[in-house]
Homo-oligomer: A and B are copies of this chain.
Amino acid sequence: MALTPRLVRACRGEEVDRTPAWLMRQAGRYLPEYRKVREAHSLLDICADAELTSKVTLQPLERFDLDAAIIFADILLPLVPMGIDLDFVPGKGPVIQNPIQSPSDVEALKPFDPRDHLTPTLEAITSVRTQVNQDTAVIGFAGAPFTLASYLIEGAPTKNFGRVKSFMSNEPEAFLALMTKLREVSGRWLTAQAEAGADALQLFDTWAGWLNPITYEKQVMEHSRFVFHNLKGTGCPTIHFAVGAPHLIELLSQVGSDVLGVDWRLSIDEAWSRFSMDCAIQGNLDPTALLGSEQHIRRAVIDVMQRVDQRPGHIFNLGHGMLPQTPPHSVTIAMDALRSYEATAA
């Protein structure tokens, strides 16, 4: 009989033999073996190739004692087949040549079918699932409607989200139409990943923290809720994550995911105590902790674990993505600190 991966059990709040751990951006630029792949292939090249995607996805699991592989992809991938001209500019980030500026731009977006467009990612999920242990989870992910809308409207990295916020206030109907399209995109993309073999699904609402609770509740929340509601049929547990959002934590915990991921701005026990619905928690080591000394890393990991105090329903993770300048050995130290703590606490 197939084992249920321990991350899946923790998502459901069940007791597990050890705290499942993975790290956002665990596959990425901080790893020399990843940078080697990138010497010959762009990010979009890797995503268009199932074999490269699998390879890069598995790199961190070869080095570290992790409990999940998150498929290597980008939340903006589904926008490309919708007619968006996307590029990743070194040192700048994603840039969209044809951002959404008007209601007609929203109408012009093409429908999204993951099986037509993103088969390499799906094939890689299936392949990775066969290559990892049965108690290791494969995580699929997608951008949340608001975060996708932000990228589409801003077009380039922003410090203030002025374009998307003024679109929300000046064009509320077009914004609603956009969110209605994007929730289908997020939902279909995650469903396809579940069908391809993903064990758990994470929705990244990276930029939600730039909204106040009133705007979030009025123009965003129902669309993320729609996504989670429609994922129930997949049988996969779901994780919801936003960064810089302590002021939204009560609302974010009501959107219908099994797990809420929190950044490092609040201690994990304080964050968990603010959930207005009982659900599991993922987090929340500050990624900059991995730039510190061995002693500092160990102390930071133990602090998270002591605050959780063995309460079921905890997935150990960073509070935001791994920084490119992280020494890989620091991850080894963090994982050792976690496992040693558990061995002592048990």
Q: Which residues of A contact B (CB under 8 A)?
A: 160-162, 165-166, 169-170, 209, 212-214, 244, 246-247, 264-267, 270, 286-289, 291-293, 296, 320, 323, 325
Contacts and interface: CB of A to CB of B under 8 A. Distances in A.
B213 A323 contact: no
B247 A293 contact: no
Nearest to A326: B162
A166 B265 CA distance: 16
B293 A169 contact: yes
Given A247-B266, A320-B160, A169 B212 contact: no
A248 to B, nearest CB: 8
A207 to B, nearest CB: 13
Nearest to A293: B170
Contacts of A266: 212-213, 247
A264 B247 CA distance: 11
A165 B264 CA distance: 13
Contacts of A292: 166, 169-170
A240 B270 CA distance: 25
A165 B247 contact: no
A296 to B, nearest CB: 5
A214 to B, nearest CB: 7
A296 B247 contact: no
